[in-house]
Amino acid sequence: MIKGIGVDIIELNRIEELASNKKFIHRILTHAEIETFLPLTNRRKIEYLAGRFAAKEAFSKAMGTGIGKNLQFIDIEVSQDSFGKPYISKPFATGVHLSISHSKEYAVAQVIIESSSS
């Protein structure tokens, strides 16, 4: 049974402006995500950060809470499997489906959360 669906879209140029402040990066990315982020090229860093931002916003919408005092960006972690497919690994991974896509100007993410009961 579907518990929640969330979607978010973000302009890459908006993330590029915000990313000039390192505090923003540390507010959005977990330590593990920062390790993946640091060696990327500048363009790829913006895509990565925008994708994670959109994924975390979409997850918070699917949870029905949004980002706020009870759920912050760093409470949510996006990992990649051996094929590069992103997935939510924190706060829980079971029953969460994530898709992230980029274009020249935008990043978009969709999250579907399933409950274990039918």
Domains in the chain: boundaries: 2-114
Low-confidence ranges of the chain (pLDDT < 70): 117-118
3, 45, 97, 102: the catalytic one is 102
61, 90, 97, 104: the catalytic one is 61
Per-position DSSP letters for the chain, written without gaps between them: -EEEEEEEEEEHHHHHHHHTSHHHHHHHS-HHHHHHHTTS-HHHHHHHHHHHHHHHHHHHHHHTS-SSSSS-GGG-EEEE-TT--EEEEES--TTEEEEEEE-SSEEEEEEEEE-S--
Q: Does the annotation mark 31 as catalytic?
A: no
CATH fold for domain 2-114: Ribosomal Protein L22; Chain A (3.90.470)
